Amino acid sequence: MIETHRHGTILAIQIGNPPVNALSEDVRRGIYQAIEAAQSDDGISAIVIHGAGRMFSAGADITEFGKPLAEPGLAVVIDAIEASAKPVVAAIHGSALGGGLEVALGAHYRVATASAKLGLPEVALGLLPGAGGTQRLPRLVGIPAALDMIVLGSPISGAKALDIDLVDKVVPEQRLVEDAIAYAAKLDRPRPTGERAVSFDGGEFDRFAEQNARKIKGLDAPQACIEAVRAATTLSLADGQEKERSLFHRLMDGAQSKALRHAFFAERAAAKIDGLPKDVALRSVAKVGVIGAGTMGGGISMNFLSAGIPVTIVEMAEEALDRGTGLMRKNYEATAAKGRMTGAQVEGALALLTPTLDFSALSDCDLIIEAVYENMDVKKEIFARLDGIAKPGAILASNTSYLSVDEIAEVTKRPQDVVGLHFFSPANIMKLVEVVRGDKTASDVLATGMAIARKIGKVPVVSGVCFGFIGNRMLDPRLEGAMEMLLEGATPDQIDRVSVGFGMPMGPLQMIDLAGVDIGWHRDPTRIESLRDALNALGRWGQKAGGGFYDYDEKRRPLPSPAATGIIDDYRAKAGVTPRAISDEEIMVRTMHVMVNEGAKILSEGIAQRASDIDVVWIYGYGWPRHTGGPMFWAEQVGLTKIVADLERYADRLGDDFSLSPLLAKAARDGRSLDQAKAR
């Protein structure tokens, strides 16, 4: 765990706790003992702390959270580092995150590689830096930079850290330890961070709160982070740390941190595929083909281009191809205008794109993704053609959001090479990719699908084949419930407010407005068999048509629509429905609980490998509020017994298609989690 080496009079303390050098009990004890022993060793003039392997340290060992804290605590170790009478240098490569950076802040001097990542991401776990970070960082870099790093959790590079005086020197990675030792050899005294005063003018907090109000609204941890940093401006290090500690414990015991820590591990668990050997050899993906230059095809292509992977994009007509590539350029330029890309990066990405009308240009691609509209016959025709031209071993993927990957694979002579790669709109931004495992999908194809999704910055989750896979299958009862309640008497605003109040980015009807009220519409304005038909017949197709359930202002904010209200009232009257009052509780059950019920079915059928995979799908695909942990975690926190009781209470309003998931009923009855109930 901890190794020490002497280099002349310099003691190097190496943290070795793979894979991320988490500061587990043994590591803490090892550092503490080495620092203490060095104090009375006349042969040691200075100390260097560095990490073995990929990084300095990813911070406290999150797996220890929730268990009794074993001594020495991290704050004690860091205080001992700072109190060292011999200068201590932290030598940082890879990542120094959370408690890892706090160790470096306790050191008297810091050297880092230019590409190292330094950050305090505790806020993403619903916590704050609890080992002195909120007190030491402002003393080193001032309030504005400290607030950015602590409250927003955004890491910075070693190069940027040098600019803001967080590190003293940037050195090349291959000479990190050697240069840190040489640096330490020249130091003659310690320089405790805690002895510095914080410079501030008082206005920093208000300015920060104003600029970031939207990002931190309703979240416990950012508020506590601000409070802790504020303490650094008035209290001594010791008193500030005490304040920090009490805020840390309050957050640790709260529901939000529990949910956020669940989300952290859920995301990593999703990377693990049942029944797949860990060492399965991946197929190489050096060139990608995309069929269809529509919004999805364009967005999907951008992900690969941005990751430096060449893309050949195929369309049927010149006009569609030009429109698609034009939109990609526009999107890239918008990103550049926000300062997130340079002009050279935009041109570099687009230079990797080959637009063509020639289908056979896909013959040298390693992965080909079909992204045309949802029609099984069209998809089958494309895959049959692909089978004829794709090179042996190429992965053939469909971006279908509902259709059977097995049925698509059947038209080829290589169903083992076929997989679903379901991106979410807008595909260049949304992080989720459902990697759909067909009956015959080969292990290496599945594993490559997961790996390539990660490579382009996505969060992949494996789904089995069913109509709508994990996400859209759960979306269906949610949207249906909303439409039915609208007919029964609720207003769009009343329905959506329940979801938005819960923390969703938008309600179900706002979502239909965004996707298009006319999706799947028969396009016959005289045939009015549903409320949706009635809206469509009068051109209320959603945002793209200026309005659907809502009108929209120039900032695309939804406004109550007298026109939509008129159409809804009229349709209700014609359908003989007398509107009734609908409670927020009923809306909750019919838009949220029904999803949990469908999720439980998805789990019991093996479409999702584990309940937490479903949470990841909803957090990254639909903006489910991360601080509630995802729908399945949320349901378990509410209590499955309550979820079941609520569903049963409204059973007669849930429609003939509704049936209670036997797995959900069993888990509730036995007082177990859904995964436990499934395993039995």
d(CA 618, CA 280): 28
Note whether 102 binds ligand HSC by CB under 6 A: yes
Query: Within 13 Å, how many C-alpha atoms sit on residue 665's CB side?
Result: 6
d(CA 543, CA 323): 20
Pick the piece of the chain touching ligand HSC (CB under 6 A) from 90-98, 135-143, 334-342, 649-657: 90-98
Measured CA angle at 586 (ends 585, 592), to 5 deg: 85
Among 12, 74, 112, 346, interactor with ligand HSC by CB under 6 A: 74
Among 47, 125, 644, 677, interactor with ligand HSC by CB under 6 A: 125
Between 61 and 613, name the residue whose CB sits nearer to ligand HSC: 61
Note whether 613 binds ligand HSC by CB under 6 A: no
d(CA 377, CA 375): 6
Between 44 and 62, name the residue whose CB sits nearer to ligand HSC: 62
| Least distance CB 271 / ligand HSC (angstroms) | 7
Between 5 and 268, name the residue whose CB sits nearer to ligand HSC: 268
Among 13, 44, 58, 171, interactor with ligand HSC by CB under 6 A: 58
Among 51, 87, 129, 625, interactor with ligand HSC by CB under 6 A: 129
d(CA 166, CA 341): 25
Please answer whether residues 469 and 436 qualify as being in contact, where contact means their C-beta atoms are separated by less than 8 angstroms.
yes
Q: Which of residues 354-373 bind ligand HSC (CB under 6 A)?
A: none
Between 61 and 82, name the residue whose CB sits nearer to ligand HSC: 61
User: Of the residues 122, 315, 434, 480, which is catalytic?
Assistant: 122
Q: Given the DSSP bridges, would you call strands 117-119 and 156-157 parallel, antiparallel or unpaired? A: antiparallel
How far apart, in Å, do the first and last CA atoms of the chain sit? 38
| Least distance CB 248 / ligand HSC (angstroms) | 4
Pick the piece of the chain touching ligand HSC (CB under 6 A) from 55-63, 230-238, 364-372, 476-484: 55-63
Pick the piece of the chain touching ligand HSC (CB under 6 A) from 59-67, 295-303, 486-494, 643-651: 59-67
| Least distance CB 79 / ligand HSC (angstroms) | 12
Residue 102 is among the residues annotated as catalytic for this protein: yes
d(CA 490, CA 488): 6
Q: Which of residues 556-595 bind ligand HSC (CB under 6 A)?
A: none
Joined together, the tokens standing for residue 481 give 């419930």
Please answer whether residues 421 and 461 qualify as being in contact, where contact means their C-beta atoms are separated by less than 8 angstroms.
no
Joined together, the tokens standing for residue 532 give 């949706």
| Least distance CB 226 / ligand HSC (angstroms) | 16
d(CA 250, CA 253): 5
Q: Which of residues 269-328 bind ligand HSC (CB under 6 A)?
A: none
Nearest Cα neighbor of 452 from 264, 302, 275, 307 is 307
* Torsion region of 250: left, alpha or beta (phi above 0 gives left; psi -120 to 50 gives alpha): alpha
Residue 636 is among the residues annotated as catalytic for this protein: no
d(CA 640, CA 560): 35
Under DSSP, the state recorded for 141 is H
Distances (CA, A) of 475 to 231, 371, 416, 470: 45, 21, 29, 9
Among 7, 245, 323, 497, interactor with ligand HSC by CB under 6 A: 245
Note whether 156 binds ligand HSC by CB under 6 A: no
d(CA 595, CA 51): 45
Between 457 and 546, name the residue whose CB sits nearer to ligand HSC: 457
Distances (CA, A) of 265 to 455, 565, 629: 19, 44, 10
Q: Which of residues 248-277 bind ligand HSC (CB under 6 A)?
A: 248, 268
Among 10, 12, 13, 20, interactor with ligand HSC by CB under 6 A: 20
Note whether 34 binds ligand HSC by CB under 6 A: no
Measured CA angle at 267 (ends 265, 270), to 5 deg: 105
- Which residue in this structure is represented by tokens 């859920």? 266
Note whether 138 binds ligand HSC by CB under 6 A: no
Joined together, the tokens standing for residue 376 give 């099984």
Strand partners, 435: 421, 462
| Least distance CB 313 / ligand HSC (angstroms) | 29
Between 62 and 442, name the residue whose CB sits nearer to ligand HSC: 62
Among 131, 228, 369, 418, interactor with ligand HSC by CB under 6 A: 131
DSSP symbols for 602-657: HHHTTSSSSHHHHHHHHHHHH---GGGT-HHHHHHHH-HHHHHHHHHHTGGGS-TT
Note whether 62 binds ligand HSC by CB under 6 A: yes
Judged by DSSP in three states, 460 sits in strand
Note whether 22 binds ligand HSC by CB under 6 A: yes
Note whether 104 binds ligand HSC by CB under 6 A: no
**Residues binding ligand HSC: number (CB under 6 A):** 27
Judged by DSSP in three states, 550 sits in strand
| Least distance CB 435 / ligand HSC (angstroms) | 17
Among 46, 47, 60, 91, interactor with ligand HSC by CB under 6 A: 60
- Which residue in this structure is represented by tokens 């965004």? 514
Among 26, 36, 63, 165, interactor with ligand HSC by CB under 6 A: 63
Amino acid at 493: D
User: Of the residues 3, 82, 102, 648, which is catalytic?
Assistant: 102
Pick the piece of the chain touching ligand HSC (CB under 6 A) from 122-130, 353-361, 369-377, 408-416: 122-130
Active site residues: 102, 122
Residues at the interface with ligand HSC (CB under 6 A):
19-20, 22, 58-63, 73-75, 95, 97-99, 102, 121-122, 125, 129-131, 133, 245, 248, 268
